[in-house]
């Protein structure tokens, strides 16, 4: 049984993601919010009053204060590497929003910074933290329905209609756009279920390119032979819906909003799943367990792998061809 004091967490960036993480920290009995870094003085004043924690102008000032054990990096993606590097140099553990960086090379540098400093780096949260997908992963691992053969994931959202998207919001070069900001959730889910190691990717975009795409479709081949197809549309043209089907040698699974439907031997079994907590809560749980010695799923290497897969979709779409072994970037160790 653990008796150590709650871990001190600081948030870098007080946007929507930072605020959602602050709520998760306040719900947690394993973490306490001890600092916020943001360059905007008005934001710092508001947060100081609402969150009741000290504020700092930037990541370097926060991690040098000695008030945090862990930071959550929720800055614009172009600033992720700088924040991760500063935290690692100070010996502070890191949860970094996805995507980990704007390029695979910068993501690799972030992973290596954390490794050299001996600190833990997690990337997330993404929707792969959703309890339903974790249960499906357990079904795959236990071979409850035999070997996994394929996965089909579809997602319809109104991402482009939620607010007016600026040119910056739709610029993939700075880590923005639908595929990197939203599609990364879907790719992370597919990787979790299919084993993680993507060996070949084909893909296409619709409604725009370079971050302005309305959606994408992709085919991913994994090292274990599992095949996955992913379709994402963020135009808002149809009501929001997410579906995922997994085919096994001994049956199939459909993930639905309330849980999972298992199909085997002509029988349908409903497996209700209580989501219980948000993905931000789950990210805190994973960091807590990691610091207690458990090997995490969503570590820096994992985040690099998801970014590499998303970038491969862009590359395959532009070249109208299949991109092979793109995840060699993910597998390399310096």
For residue range 73-97, list pLDDT tens digits in order. 999 999 999 999 999 999 999 999 9
Q: Closest Cα partner for 313 from 155, 166, 206? A: 206
What's the pLDDT score for residue 274?
83
- For the chain, which residues make up each domain, given as ranges? 7-123, 127-275+300-331
More confident residue, 135 or 2: 135
Q: Which two tokens stand for residue 269?
A: 């079994």
Residue length, the chain?
334
pLDDT band at 183 (very low <50, low <70, confident <90, very high): very high
What's the pLDDT score for residue 3?
55
pLDDT band at 127 (very low <50, low <70, confident <90, very high): very high
**233: Cα separation from own chain's centroid:** 18
**Looking at residues 317-330, what average pLDDT do you find?**
73
What's the pLDDT score for residue 196?
95
Cβ neighbours of 232 (radius 10 Å): 26
- Tell whether the model's pLDDT for residue 164 goes beyond 60: yes
Q: Please, what is the average pLDDT of the chain?
A: 94
**Looking at residues 118-124, what average pLDDT do you find?**
98
Q: Compute φ and ψ for 163, nearest 5 degrees.
A: -160, 170
What's the pLDDT score for residue 5?
87
Q: Closest Cα partner for 130 from 74, 186, 175, 177? A: 186
Give the C-alpha separation, 41 to 219, whole Å: 45
What's the pLDDT score for residue 133?
97
Cβ neighbours of 146 (radius 10 Å): 13
- Show Cβ contacts of residue 260 under 8 Å, excluding neighbours closer than 6 positions: 132, 135, 136, 139, 253, 254, 270, 271, 273
For residue range 33-69, list pLDDT tens digits in order. 999 999 999 999 999 899 999 999 999 999 999 999 9
For residue range 241-280, list pLDDT tens digits in order. 999 999 999 999 999 989 999 999 999 999 999 877 899 9
- Show Cβ contacts of residue 238 under 8 Å, excluding neighbours closer than 6 positions: 156
What's the pLDDT score for residue 1?
45
- Tell whether the model's pLDDT for residue 281 goes beyond 60: yes
For residue range 207-238, list pLDDT tens digits in order. 999 999 999 999 999 999 999 999 999 999 99
- Tell whether the model's pLDDT for residue 332 goes beyond 80: no
Q: In what order do the strands lie in the sheet with 31-37?
A: 55-56, 31-37, 7-12, 70-73, 93-96, 121-123
- Tell whether the model's pLDDT for residue 286 goes beyond 90: yes
What's the pLDDT score for residue 325?
56
**Looking at residues 325-333, what average pLDDT do you find?**
47
What's the pLDDT score for residue 163?
87
Q: Which fold has domain 7-123?
A: Rossmann fold (3.40.50)
For residue range 192-205, list pLDDT tens digits in order. 999 999 999 999 99
For residue range 309-319, list pLDDT tens digits in order. 999 999 999 99
Q: Name the percent of the chain lying above pLDDT 70.
A: 96
Class of domain 127-275+300-331: alpha beta
What's the pLDDT score for residue 2?
56
């Amino acid at each position: 049984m653990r008796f150590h004091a709650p871990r001190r967490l600081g948030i870098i960036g007080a946007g929507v993601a930072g605020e959602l993480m602050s709520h998760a920290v306040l719900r947690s009995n394993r973490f306490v919010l001890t600092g916020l870094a943001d360059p905007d003085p008005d934001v710092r004043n508001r947060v100081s009053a609402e969150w009741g924690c000290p504020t700092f102008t930037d990541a370097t000032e926060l991690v040098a204060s000695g008030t945090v054990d862990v930071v959550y990096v929720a800055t614009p993606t172009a600033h992720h590497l700088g924040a991760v590097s500063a935290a690692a140099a100070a010996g502070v553990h890191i949860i970094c929003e996805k995507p980990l960086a704007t390029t695979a090379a910068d993501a690799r540098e972030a992973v290596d910074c954390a490794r050299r400093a001996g600190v833990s780096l997690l990337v997330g949260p993404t929707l792969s933290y959703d309890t339903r997908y974790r249960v499906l992963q357990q079904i795959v691992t236990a071979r409850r329905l035999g070997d996994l053969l394929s996965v089909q994931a579809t997602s319809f959202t109104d991402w482009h209609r939620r607010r007016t998207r600026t040119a910056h919001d739709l610029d993939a070069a700075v880590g923005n756009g639908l595929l990197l900001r939203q599609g990364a959730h879907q790719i992370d889910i597919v990787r979790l279920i299919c084993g993680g190691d993507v060996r070949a990717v084909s893909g296409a975009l619709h409604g725009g390119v370079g971050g302005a795409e309305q959606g994408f479709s992709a085919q991913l081949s994994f090292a274990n032979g599992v095949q996955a197809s992913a379709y994402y549309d963020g135009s808002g043209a149809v009501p929001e819906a997410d579906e995922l089907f997994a085919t096994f040698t001994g049956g199939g699974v459909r993930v639905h909003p309330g849980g999972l439907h298992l199909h085997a031997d002509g029988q349908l079994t409903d497996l209700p799943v209580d989501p219980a907590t948000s993905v931000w809560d789950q990210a805190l749980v994973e960091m807590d367990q990691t610091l207690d010695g458990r090997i995490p799923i969503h570590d820096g290497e994992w985040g690099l792998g998801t970014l590499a897969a998303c970038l491969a979709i862009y590359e395959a779409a532009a070249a109208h061809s299949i991109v092979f072994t793109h995840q060699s970037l993910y597998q390399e160790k310096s």
